[in-house]
Amino acid sequence: MKCNVARGEFSRRRRVLAVSDVHGRPDLLRRLLEKLDYRPGKDGLVLVGDLLEKGPDSLGALRMAMDLMREDRVYVLRGNCDTALLDPADPDLPALLARQTEADGFLWQLAAAQGLARQQVLADVPAAVRRLQAAYPAETAFLRALPDILETEDYRFVHAGLCPGPLESQPWEEALTVRGYLDRAEKSEKLLVVGHFPVSNYTARRRGVLGFAPFCDAEKNILSIDGGLCVKEGGQLNGTELWEGAYRRYSCVDGLGRAVVRKGRKAAQEESIAWIWPDLDVDVLERDEERDALLCRHQAAGQTAWVPAKWVRQGPSGARLAGDYTSLRLALKGGDRVSVVCTCGGQTLVKKDSILGWTDTDQLEFIPPAQG
């Protein structure tokens, strides 16, 4: 299947905002656009795929995108998570639905709204999807018409990546599903903006940290902006500002709790490590009961690190980390505000300036949600 390519126009004197991988969080998209001071009809706006799935309100995200598209200079691209409603005969759909729930699955959210029971949907997936298409004709038509690639005078946008060659001949699978695109991409003649692959995967491999800020490869002229929202612990929704063919800055939001640092601490001198999905298998070498921590050796990397016991799951095939892991201890100052990911005994995983790291729990004053 070849890609649907759209051609657009943005004034070089105007901002272009790019956001990707909203994943069913219209509340965060709304907050992000407010934070960016988005000006409908003046700023350009590109949603670079994956409006849907993984979050609690995919229909709300879809309808918000439909509303945004009523303004000039707004483009919405298709992502690999935006296709479930389009093909009732998709052979992969039954397995996908069997793994999902109403909490994270777009079709399950639609099915619940239409009074369709889980057993009823799984018994005949094609019939259930056709019924949902009939119940949501405007939404289905909108998703079906989405382009896969957007090209303007200064930019190219695509959800996952591009192959060498003309845009019209790009394979759909590459454009929407390729992982780790930056690792093998060629230099782009125009600034190329992609999502799909959380930027923390790149920062872990290249810098040894879990960072969620947009990752710009200046040599290749490619900007990767997926902040890992609803996919990674500590993930966020990034909004990037583009001017005159170049990346300028970003803003971000997340749905995490907040805390204030009571007293600062210096950063540890030892080099940090970062272990990421799918290589999460570890060998447990030692246990520290007082710290409630396990000394683990990462099977793929051969590195060792102390990991909170809560972060390690024991399964039939051995020990495996509950998610991506970093050993970094953040350098924090008194008064710093941080996002709180989780607390493991006396240690809390927090995020400051889009970087994940640990700090002592007793150094934090947790902010009630209404005040955060």
Verify that 44 and 140 share a domain, yes or no.
Answer: yes
pLDDT tens digits along 120-142:
999 999 999 999 999 999 999 99
53: number of CA atoms within 13 Å, CB side?
19
Q: At 268, is the pLDDT very low, low, confident or very high (cuts 50, 70, 90)?
A: low
- Report the helix count and the strand count for the chain, using DSSP H and E: 9, 23
| Rounded CA separation 278/79 (Å) | 21
pLDDT tens digits along 24-72:
999 999 999 999 999 999 999 999 999 999 999 999 999 999 999 999 9
pLDDT of 186 over the 80 cut: yes
The pLDDT value given to residue 49? 96
E strand map for 66-140: 74-77
Verify that 184 and 53 share a domain, yes or no.
Answer: yes
- pTM across the whole model: 0.95
CATH of the domain at 147: 3.60.21.10
CB proximity list for 167: less than 8 A, separation 6 or greater: 3, 5, 149, 151, 156
pLDDT of 370 over the 70 cut: no
| Rounded CA separation 216/88 (Å) | 38
Residue 55: strand, helix, or coil: coil
Give the helix/strand (H/E) hosting 349. strand 347-352
Domain boundary among 236, 253, 270: 253
What one-letter code names the amino acid at 336?
D
Range of the domain at 269: 257-371
Domain boundary among 224, 253, 282: 253
| Rounded CA separation 331/256 (Å) | 20
Please report whether residue 127 resides in a domain: no
| Rounded CA separation 258/183 (Å) | 34
CB proximity list for 291: less than 8 A, separation 6 or greater: 306, 345, 346
Average pLDDT score over residue span 253-275? 85
Verify that 81 and 220 share a domain, yes or no.
Answer: yes
Residues 189 and 204 sit within 8 Å (Cβ to Cβ): no
Domain boundary among 230, 253, 276: 253
| Rounded CA separation 224/196 (Å) | 8
Please report whether residue 317 resides in a domain: yes
Verify that 352 and 242 share a domain, yes or no.
Answer: no
pLDDT of 371 over the 80 cut: no
DSSP 265-325: BPPPSSPP-EE-TT--EEEEEEEETTTTEEEEEETTT--EEEEEGGGEEEETTEEEESS-E
Number of Cβ within a 10 Å radius of residue 279 = 14
Verify that 154 and 291 share a domain, yes or no.
Answer: no
The pLDDT value given to residue 346? 87
89: number of CA atoms within 13 Å, CB side?
0
Nearest to 242 by CA among 261, 216, 273: 216
Q: Work out whether strand 257-261 and strand 364-367 pair parallel, antiparallel, or are unpaired.
A: antiparallel
Verify that 289 and 216 share a domain, yes or no.
Answer: no
